């Protein structure tokens, strides 16, 4: 199967196999007018198999969402067919409005305007806790 | 500008500095009697409290300052639907420092993010109560002479008991502390306190349901109340409320210099027959609470 290289845009590589559609939806890539390729289950020497997303345009990406959803992702920025920048993502220290706090005792349960903010409290086990009530993200 | 929302907002050095300041206030109260002249403390209590609110108010009066505020949400604009953030911004226009109690966890943090004056968390639901922890630390220091080298038993509701969680957190900074966690199986300490606090900091701890078996080992016994307001189900509260009641009989095997602490209010978990026992420290704890809050107000207002 051949998907043409892109000359200007972003390639999200090393996506855990099966995660591409989730990331596509979270990043709202369906709202873009440009070409987007979702490549699933590519052979990978490191990962066995992986997913790849190719976006044929440089867009603003929310690295916090990406890092939270799949911290192993590599983001390649392509210009004139060449990689001009490469980022290796990791779990963000804090995420805003990605996870919702479900604790009925939390202030966010009665004040709808408040942003739902979670902080990484245990990197080894990927544990995020609500900054208001310390509830663990589920 | 600093606020105090969680005991972990303070370093060990800052806690020690507050304890030293409180002890200096106890020794020389006249030296501090006008330190906050012209300053105002706003006590915003969205939930009932006797000790904490009066303690904050007494602390500010003894520093020569003034107090304004409310003691239940019904008499504030929150009854009209005002947000915590808006209340904090509004009160910042009238006062120099806020002490806030709120039934929802995280409300004082929200206030501190918007207020232009320091905010002290005076209790947010079952979550944090840092000034109670400072009170407990000052009491331990005054009763035992040090915050290192002792065996403490926490007894009662260890699941919802925020004072217990917060004190355990603070004790991780001190040396050679041994902890007994004594509770019915339904009210054991949450897993995350074990994983992220006790295990992480290598604190020696043991869980048991039997208070009397560990009594001889304890230097401090920290009793707690089974809190009706933390239960969604009244039947569970009724079933568990009398799990541990401390009576003179149970103290026969206890050390002569045991310190019995309780954050109060108590219901029936410490028999009134123990009040006259010299080992009972819970009313001294109340008094210590005023002094440590005086020290904290001075620190947050940056008054030398």
- What is the residue-wise DSSP string for B48-78? --SHHHHHHHHHHHHTT-EEEEESSGGGSGG
Which residues, other chains included, contact B98 with Cβ-Cβ below 8 Å and sequence gap of 6+? B41, B42, B43, B44, B88, B91, B92, B111, B115, B117, B118, B119, B120
**How far is residue B166's CA from residue B132's CA, in Å, rounded to a whole number?**
9
Give the list of residues 6+ apart from residue B106 with CB closer than 8 angstroms, or none. Answer: A106, A107, A108, A130, A131, A132, A133, B124, B127
Using the predicted structure, report yes or no on whether residue A111 has a pLDDT greater than 80. Answer: yes
Say whether pLDDT at B232 is over 70.
no
Residues of B designated catalytic: 51-52, 80, 101, 129
pLDDT one-digit tens code per residue, B98-123: 999 999 999 999 999 999 999 999 99
A132 to B109: CB separation less than 8 angstroms, yes or no: yes
B111 burial level (CB within 10 Å; 0-12, 13-18, 19+):
buried
Backbone angles phi, psi at B201, to 5 degrees: -100, 15
Evaluate if residue B9 carries a pLDDT over 80.
yes
Choose the closest CB to B83 out of A106, A109, A113: A113
Domain boundaries, chain A: 9-88, 94-130
**CA-to-CA dists, residue B271 to B8, B219, B267, angstroms:** 33, 20, 9
Contact between chains at A132 and B106 (C-beta distance less than 8 A): yes
Query: Is residue B102 helix, strand or coil?
Result: strand
The model's confidence at residue B230, banded by pLDDT at 50, 70 and 90, is low
Helix, strand and coil in chain B, % to nearest 5: 45, 15, 35
Q: What is the pLDDT of residues B40-62, one digit of tens each?
A: 999 999 988 888 999 999 999 99
Please state, in angstroms and rounded to a whole number, the distance separating the CA atoms of residues B249 and B247: 5
Q: How confident is the model at residue B31 (pLDDT cuts 50, 70, 90)?
A: very high
A110 and B CB contact within 8 Å: yes
The interface predicted TM-score of the complex, written ipTM, equals 0.86
**Residue B40: beta bridge partners?**
B66
Q: Where do we find the tokens 């000359």? A: A7
Give the phi and the psi of residue B269 in degrees, each rounded to 5: -75, -15
Instruction: Copy the structure tokens of residue B234.
Output: 């009244």
- Hey, of B104, B193, B194, B199, which one would you mutate to test binding to chain A, going by the most A CBs within 10 A of its CB? B104
pLDDT of residue B14: 97
Position B235 confidence tier, pLDDT thresholds 50, 70, 90: confident
**Cβ-nearest to A107 among B107, B126, B192:** B107
Tokens 């509260």 belong to B237
pLDDT confidence of residue B236: 76
CA–CA separation, B296 and A66 (whole Å): 42
Q: Which tens digit of pLDDT belongs to each residue from A21-44?
A: 999 998 899 999 999 999 999 999
* pLDDT confidence of residue B144: 97
Domains recognised in chain B with CATH numbers: 7-128+289-300 (3.40.50.1370), 131-286 (3.40.50.1370)
Residue B17 has pLDDT above 80, yes or no: yes
Burial class (CB in 10 A: 0-12, 13-18, 19+), B103: middle
pLDDT tops 90 at residue A124: no
Q: Is residue A52 predicted with pLDDT exceeding 80?
A: yes
pLDDT value of position B215: 97
Q: If you average pLDDT over every residue of chain B, what do you get?
A: 93
3-state DSSP assignment of residue B28 = coil
What's the mean pLDDT when you consider all of chain A? 92
Q: What are phi and psi of B32, to 5 degrees?
A: -105, 0
A9-88 under CATH 3.40.50.2300, yes or no: no
Query: Would the pLDDT of A1 be above 80?
Result: no
| Cβ B44 vs Cβ B70: under 8 Å | yes
Alpha helices in chain B (DSSP H): 12-27, 51-62, 84-92, 107-114, 130-144, 162-171, 191-193, 211-214, 234-240, 282-300
Strand B204-208 versus strand B177-182 pairing type:
parallel
Highest averaged pLDDT of the listed ranges A27-36, B90-99, B239-248: B90-99
Hey, which of A89-103, B107-121, B186-200, B241-255 has the most confident mean pLDDT?
A: B107-121
Cβ of A107 and B84 within 8 Å? yes
Residues of A in contact with B113 (CB under 8 A): none
Interface test mutation site (partner A, options B44, B105, B119, B127, max chain A beta carbons within 10 A): B105
Write out the E strands in chain A. Answer: 9-16, 36-44, 48-55, 74-79, 82-88, 94-96, 117-122, 127-130
């Amino acid at each position: 199967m051949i998907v043409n290289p892109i000359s200007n845009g972003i390639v999200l590589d090393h996506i855990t196999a099966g995660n591409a559609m989730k990331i596509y939806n979270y990043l709202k890539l369906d709202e873009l007018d440009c070409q987007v390729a979702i490549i699933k289950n590519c052979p990978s020497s490191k990962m066995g198999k992986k997913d790849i997303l190719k976006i044929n345009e440089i867009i603003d990406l929310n690295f916090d969402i990406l890092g939270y959803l799949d911290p192993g992702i590599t983001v390649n920025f392509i210009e004139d067919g060449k990689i001009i920048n490469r980022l290796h993502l990791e779990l963000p220290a804090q995420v805003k409005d990605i996870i919702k706090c479900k604790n009925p005792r939390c202030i966010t349960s009665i004040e709808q305007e408040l942003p739902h903010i979670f902080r990484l409290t245990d990197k080894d086990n990927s544990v995020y806790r609500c900054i208001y009530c310390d509830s663990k993200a589920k | 500008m600093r606020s105090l929302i969680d005991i972990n907002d303070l370093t060990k050095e800052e806690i020690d500095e507050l304890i030293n300041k409180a002890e200096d206030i106890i020794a020389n109260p006249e030296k501090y009697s006008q330190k906050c002249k012209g300053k105002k403390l706003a006590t915003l209590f969205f939930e009932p409290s006797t000790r904490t609110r009066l303690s904050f108010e007494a602390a500010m009066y003894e520093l020569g300052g003034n107090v304004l505020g409310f003691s239940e949400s019904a008499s504030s604009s929150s009854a009209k639907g005002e947000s915590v953030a808006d209340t904090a911004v509004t009160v910042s226009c009238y006062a120099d420092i806020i002490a806030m109690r709120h039934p929802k966890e995280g409300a004082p943090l929200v206030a501190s993010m918007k207020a232009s004056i320091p905010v002290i968390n005076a209790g947010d639901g079952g979550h944090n109560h840092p000034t109670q922890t400072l009170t407990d630390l000052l009491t331990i220091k005054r009763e035992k002479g040090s915050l290192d080298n002792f065996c403490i038993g926490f007894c009662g509701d260890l699941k919802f008991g925020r004072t217990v969680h917060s004190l355990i957190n603070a004790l991780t900074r001190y040396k050679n502390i041994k902890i007994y966690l004594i509770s019915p199986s339904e009210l054991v300490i949450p897993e995350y306190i074990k994983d992220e606090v006790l295990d992480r900091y290598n604190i020696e701890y043991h869980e048991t349901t039997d208070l009397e078996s560990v009594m001889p080992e304890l230097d401090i016994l920290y009793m707690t109340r089974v809190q009706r307001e933390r239960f969604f189900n009244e039947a569970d509260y009724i079933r568990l409320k009398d799990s541990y009641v401390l009576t003179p009989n149970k103290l026969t095997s206890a050390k002569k210099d045991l310190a019995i602490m309780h954050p109060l209010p108590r219901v029936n978990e410490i028999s009134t027959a123990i009040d006259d026992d010299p080992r009972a420290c819970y009313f001294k704890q109340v008094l210590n609470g005023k002094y440590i809050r005086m020290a904290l107000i001075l620190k947050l207002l940056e008054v030398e």
